[in-house]
Chain A
């Protein structure tokens, strides 16, 4: 159901185990997952900060690789968990990133069907609202929402990443979605957008 980044992720545990003897092997994990971790960090804290944070994520992961639970073949949740903790230490950068998103409401350049373009324009109009709603969410709720919506982790993977029970993941996601929905609801842009996308 959820997106998988190739079967390579299946042997992350084997790579980590071999890195206990041959630390050089850990670079394989970087090559495999760094682009996605970087993108997640860039989405949350901006590209400039992501440059640093992606390095710190893998340095932290390397330092504690001997504590990795080999029962989990896929190391992505572990890496996302470390990255999310690091984002937590850069709250100011994250808030700035949402302000940038709010401010940037450029016109879509993709030509196409008139209604589709209109929907794009309205979606652009909703973007500042979305960014504001994200910025207003409690940290824990936002972590869960973004790991699921952006990185497409499963509930179980988010549970592993954030070291919280699956039930907590569900309740946080529900709370976050409700708040975002409420923030978007009732606005002109939302109504127009809903209408346009329903008619398509």
Chain B
């Protein structure tokens, strides 16, 4: 007999507990389950009467959906982080525009002359700001829509991330590349979180809930 068998012999002295011994622990778990926002929440969806968009109070019925699981919440946080990263990127891009030289810029296949660049600079700055703001708005919009369990937002986020990946090749400057990579990695992490099994289950439930609500 070796030490492993001796250990097993020692373990024999502790029998399995009687069911009653686990009652207190089970009660604590059941209480935690009952306190979980999802408990009964989803089943309540099917109990919402159809054709009742405006109850007697006159207010529209609050759409019922299960609470977002941790991966979706993480993805939403990452998207807000991505929006912040884009703000920084925009600031860097604006600083970079000041240093831009004519040979850097090609419009519709034609190199701009220095005079043309000087003339176009306000337009370029305006376009950069508009593009940057649009990107920030996209991050925030995607964060909100994904947090609400919109499956189209998850798909659109993934497509946008793919487009952002293509855009990585046209970057100049260490600071710009660094922040762009950081923002890209944030996007990658967010997309990964959105496609995790718990997230998929959440989006599926939201879709079912939405179908249930439709007259």
Contact = CB atoms under 8 A, between A and B. Distances in A.
A15 interface: no
A101 interface: yes
A126 B6 CA distance: 9
Interface in B16-35: 16-17, 21-22, 24-26, 28-30, 32-33
A42 B42 CA distance: 37
Nearest to A123: B9
A59 B26 CA distance: 10
A21 B208 CA distance: 12
A70 B202 CA distance: 15
B39 A58 contact: no
Contact of B22 (A23, A54, A181): A54
Contacts of B57: none
Interface in A15-64: 17, 20-24, 26-27, 30-31, 34-36, 38-39, 42-43, 51, 54-55, 58-59, 62-64
A27 B4 contact: no
B1 interface: yes
A87 to B, nearest CB: 14
A20 B202 contact: yes
B67 to A, nearest CB: 10
B15 interface: yes
A64 B71 CA distance: 10
Contacts of A54: 22, 25
A26 B29 contact: yes
A42 to B, nearest CB: 5
Contact of A38 (B2, B21, B66): B21
A66 B10 contact: no
B70 A59 contact: no
B7 interface: yes
- Give the interface size bracket for A toward B: 35 or more
Contact of A193 (B1, B28, B38, B42): B1
A5 to B, nearest CB: 11
A17 B198 CA distance: 8
A27 B30 contact: yes
A180 interface: yes
Given A17-B197, A20-B202, A55 B29 contact: yes
Contact of B25 (A34, A67, A101): A34
B4 A177 contact: yes
A43 B38 CA distance: 35
Contacts of B169: none
B52 interface: no
Interface of A: 17, 20-24, 26-27, 30-31, 34-36, 38-39, 42-43, 51, 54-55, 58-59, 62-64, 66-67, 70, 101, 123, 126-127, 130-131, 145-146, 148-150, 177, 180-181, 184, 193-194, 197
Given A20-B38, A55-B29, A67-B198, 11 more contacts: A21-B205, A23-B33, A30-B25, A30-B29, A35-B22, A38-B21, A38-B22, A38-B25, A55-B24, A63-B32, A148-B4
